[in-house]
Amino acid sequence: MRNTANSQLLVGDDGAMSDVYLHVGPVKTGSTYLRNIMWNSRGALREQGVLLPAVHPNEFFLAANDVQGDTPEAAGAWARVTARARSWPGRVLITCELLGFSDPDQIQRTVDSLAPAALHLIVMARCRRMARPPACSPSPAAWPGADSRTG
């Protein structure tokens, strides 16, 4: 939805979904790997009563953009995802690391749109010391103030 104080992300309330597990990132913590594992396991998850309420792997990305109001082409994506979630009689898993960039108003609208389900937030972490910079980053020796012996 658009970034306005009166924007609503609600899509109806049949109270079917019991728990929502909302993965919000952050980026560079293995989120893409986790999302791919979830997507590739959606059949097995469904058999265990867990729904990924997206019809294609990119739909969660579009839904996050809809929540944040950044992409006009994404309008309505969050409502479609949450409508599927509300029709499911059990646990729901929604994943997009971009949700971690939401501002307080966007967060509140997201939480409100998932009520009355119990919301479980999934936030990943990564040990900074063990993290490697992306391949597209300059080598650590090229970073300002870096000791060339450590690169």
- Per-residue pLDDT in tens (0 to 9) along the chain, 151 residues: 333 333 344 444 454 678 999 999 877 777 888 889 999 999 999 999 999 999 998 999 999 999 999 899 999 999 999 999 999 999 999 998 889 899 999 999 999 999 999 999 988 887 766 656 666 655 555 555 555 444 4
Residue 22 CA to residue 111 CA, distance in Å, equals 10
- pLDDT of 35: 86
pLDDT score at 9: 45
Q: What is the pLDDT of residue 3?
A: 36
Structure tokens that stand for 75 in this block = 């309008």
Burial group, residue 94, by CB count within 10 angstroms (0-12, 13-18, 19+): buried
- Alpha carbon distance 33, 44 (integer Å): 17
Gap between the Cα atoms of 83 and 131, Å rounded:
38
- What pLDDT is attached to residue 51? 96
First-last CA distance in the chain: 44
Task: Report the alpha-carbon distance of residue 100 to residue 23 in Å, rounded.
Answer: 9
| Token pair recorded at residue 57 | 């792997």
- C-alpha span between 53 and 48 (Å, rounded): 14
pLDDT at 14: 53
User: In the structure encoding, which two tokens stand for residue 141, read together?
Assistant: 């020796």
pLDDT of residue 25: 82
* Cβ neighbour number for residue 35 with a 10 Å cutoff: 19
Q: How far apart are CA 89 and CA 86, in angstroms?
A: 8
Q: What is the pLDDT, as a whole number, of residue 45?
A: 96
Structural contact between residues 118 and 77, judged by C-beta atoms closer than 8 angstroms: no
